Amino acid sequence: MSIQRTAIVTGATSDRGIGMTVARRYAREGWAIVILDLDGEKSAKVAAEIGSEFSVPSFGYEIDVTTEESVAAAQAAVAGEVDAGNLPVVGALANIAGITSPVPFLDTTLELWNKVMAVNATGTYLVTKAFLPAMIDAGWGRIVNMSSVSAQRGGGVFGKVPYSSAKAAILGFTKALARELGDSGVTVNAVTPGAVDTNIRVGATEETEAALAASIPVGRTATTEEVAAVITFLSGEDAAYLTGATFDINGGSHLH
């Protein structure tokens, strides 16, 4: 595509993360990109590197997705660049930022529960609410939310109860918002990856990784590129009739 729209990606500074791969794929397909992550300096650095590699406008800013003030500041920074002509209008938002929790239920604390819910579910809510109005005004937009197969099968991969609960909330959020937006020109979809080759499975051993891969019908975990391909497809012109849907990327580990 020609450079006409900007894609916002949260949680995109990890070298082995889904978010960085998504940002790179957007840029490769001609989108301008904005990376939003907790480390503002690294966000700007990663964005500059991707922008230079693919010759697209790019910016990176600090964001704490759990804090309304931080989200508002990031949105204002992006809007300022759009108004100044440094970025095209925002057309896509990929809510990737998230954390997991492998803690057994009776060992969880309210603090842990609130943190996992805040980053995954509340963060998706706050960032979407901040960037949605401009999409509605433009009459075009694509929102893709990161859920997980754990929300569908009740854990069983790595994250346990708080994580599965937060990711399940994202599925309900996605469907309800898609229905509410209706014919606005803005679609809202979710992806539910299974095991992906990233750093998020903290503490996993070679043995558990091998056992996990063996339990998947296709015999391996997903690559971040395979997840990114679905997200960027859902952000394009051809996905206009897809909304409120959940796209499984699990290699057959959960069939329903």
Tens of pLDDT, residues 113-158: 999 999 999 999 999 999 999 999 999 999 999 999 989 988 767 7
| Radius of gyration of the CA atoms of the chain, in A | 17
Active site amino acids: 163
Residue 157: CB atoms within 10 Å: 25
The pLDDT score that the predictor gives to residue 220 is 81
Report the distance separating Cα 199 and Cα 58, nearest Å.
25
User: How does DSSP classify residue 152?
Assistant: H
Residue 216: CB atoms within 10 Å: 18
**Domain formed by 5-249, architecture:** 3-Layer(aba) Sandwich (3.40)
* Chain center to CA of 220: 22
In this structure, which amino acid lies at residue 137? D
Domain definitions of the chain by residue range: 5-249
The pLDDT score that the predictor gives to residue 214 is 74
Burial class (CB in 10 A: 0-12, 13-18, 19+), 163: buried
The pLDDT score that the predictor gives to residue 202 is 47
Tell me which residues of the chain have a pLDDT lower than 70.
1-3, 156, 199-209
Report the distance separating Cα 152 and Cα 253, nearest Å.
11
32-37 vs 58-62, strand pairing mode: parallel
Q: What is the pTM of this model?
A: 0.94
The pLDDT score that the predictor gives to residue 146 is 97
